[in-house]
Amino acid sequence: MQSVLDYLKQNETRFIRELCDYLRFPSVSAQSKHKDDLAACADWLVKRCREIGLETKLCPTEGNPIVVAKTPRHRSANRPHFLVYGHYDVQPAEPFELWNSPPFEPRIDKGRVYARGAVDNKGQHLAHLNAVEAFLKTGTDLPCDLTFVIEGEEEVGSTSLGGFLKKNVKDLRCDGVVISDNGLPSLDLPALTYALRGIVAVEVVLHGPSRDLHSGIFGGAVDNPAMALCRLLAQLRDDKGRVAIPGFYDDVVPLSAYERKQLARLPHRDREMCKFLGVPKLFGERNYTTTERRSARPTIEINGLTGGYQGEGSKTIIPAWARAKLTFRLVPNQKPDKIRAAVRRHLQRLCPPTVRMEIESGHGGEPYLVSPEGAQAQAAMRALKRSFGRDPILIREGGSIPIVNEFKRYLGADTLLLGLALPDDNPHSPNEKFDLACYTTGMRMGACLWPELSKA
């Protein structure tokens, strides 16, 4: 084992250079203009996996291809088999002007690499790949078989992954899934995440007149779709952040006293978070701590709002339409389809007769909850302790990794969530970064994990 850790140390510089190479691809899955960049990024990844010594295939889908890379000479009957998941696609980088350096030209500063996708998720799964390289190149016995499944549609709802798992159940059936696509409170506080929020995305468009109208000539005669939209959206949430859609909270499993106690272990100060986020005041439901609200309570967010004239100066119109992109974060046991139907029903009920409403369903993902007391979770906790040199904690996370539920559904496997993102990494935001210390510690964690997990 020491030779694996030594190898990781010795090759650190190259691993960092390779991460930068990987980050140069603008693999933005939400924007069709980046289709070729996604393909090029996947090709780079295939090449990298083959260099490591993995048996690698690029599997086409109806969307972006999935990279599947296996440790050689699988003997699945005799040894445990684990799957490592990651995604090579990234969020859009807009607004570009808020980046301190171009999002697809990785910049290293004070031990951090800045680029879109650095932490979400290229850096995190590359750490796992590097760990496996160390086993293979040093000739150290890996006590298990591993399959890496790295997709290119995570940021647009992993549309192709479910079908892919279903079609390849025989090949992919495994004893557990490992994902590092989430966070830890700090390098001193490694964490196993035992619950995730789910998500439902909905887009609402209100159509008014067939074209923008002069607000002097027609103002007073027709409804304003932007105002109608504001009035509609305003009714979806109260002034404390509680979602005002009938039935929305019906299936929410209340937090147990034990969970609330565990979550309270996570260091947090409202005042520091205010300062870090630049908000005048935190916000949210009464009777829940900030940690609870952001990880264990459902929410509604307006992700985007568009209507009328957006340019410089003034344009005196009644806009023809207005649009909102909405997402709801869900908690166990809320069901995306049920929530989507409730949202749709409520919007339809609220929509005034003076505009025409169009509702587009976006992606959805179920919330996730697994007991942290199982044998694999305990094995992961040991690996965390060894690699970080610190006692790990148990947390819930507010983000969504919808495919965790697909692994359960199709492969019957639970997922160990071993995130390497620090709280200030800005995933989905300008100036996304990844700490190189998280990258290198993450490689060690990957190395320590397989022996522990294989014993579990």
Residues in the chain, how many?
456
The partner residues of 68 in beta bridges, in order of sequence, read 57, 149
Should residue 286 be labelled a site residue for its own copies when binding is judged by CB under 8 A?
no
Euclidean distance between CA atoms 25 and 37, whole angstroms = 6
**For its own copies, which stretch binds (CB under 8 A), given 15-23, 194-202, 256-264, 446-454?**
194-202
Binds its own copies by CB under 8 A, chosen from 152, 307, 392, 446:
307
Binding mask 404-443 for its own copies (x = CB under 8 A): -------------------x--xxxxxx------------
Q: Which of 133, 151, 154, 292 is catalytic?
A: 154
When binding is defined by CB under 8 A, the residue of 30, 40, 59, 253 that contacts its own copies is 30
Question: Could you tell me how many residues of this chain bind its own copies (CB under 8 A)?
Answer: 103
Give the torsion through C-alpha atoms of 406, 410, 414, 418, to 10 deg: -50
Tell which residue, 213, 48, 242, has the closest CA to residue 130. Answer: 48
Active site residue 89: yes
CA 33, 36, 41, 46 torsion-angle sign:
positive
Q: Return the structure tokens found at 6.
A: 């030594």
For its own copies, which residue of 41, 142, 177, 300 counts as binding (CB under 8 A)?
300
- H/E element, 126: helix 123-138
Helix (H) or strand (E) holding 222: none
Provide the H-helix boundaries in 351-435: 375-388, 403-406
Q: For residues 443 and 256, what is the distance between their CA atoms, to the nearest angstrom?
A: 34
Residues 144-173 close enough to bind its own copies by CB under 8 A: 156-157
Active site residue 36: no
Least gap, CB of 119 to its own copies (angstroms): 10
Residues 222-281 that bind its own copies (CB under 8 A): 222-224, 226-227, 229-231, 233-235, 237, 239, 241, 273, 277-281
Backbone angles phi, psi at 371, to 5 degrees: -70, 135
Residue 102, interface with its own copies (CB under 8 A)? no
Question: Does 97 help bind its own copies (rule: CB under 8 A)?
Answer: no
Binding mask 369-408 for its own copies (x = CB under 8 A): ----------------------------xxxx--------
Using the rule CB under 8 A, is 306 a contact of its own copies?
Answer: yes
**Which residues are tagged catalytic?**
89, 154
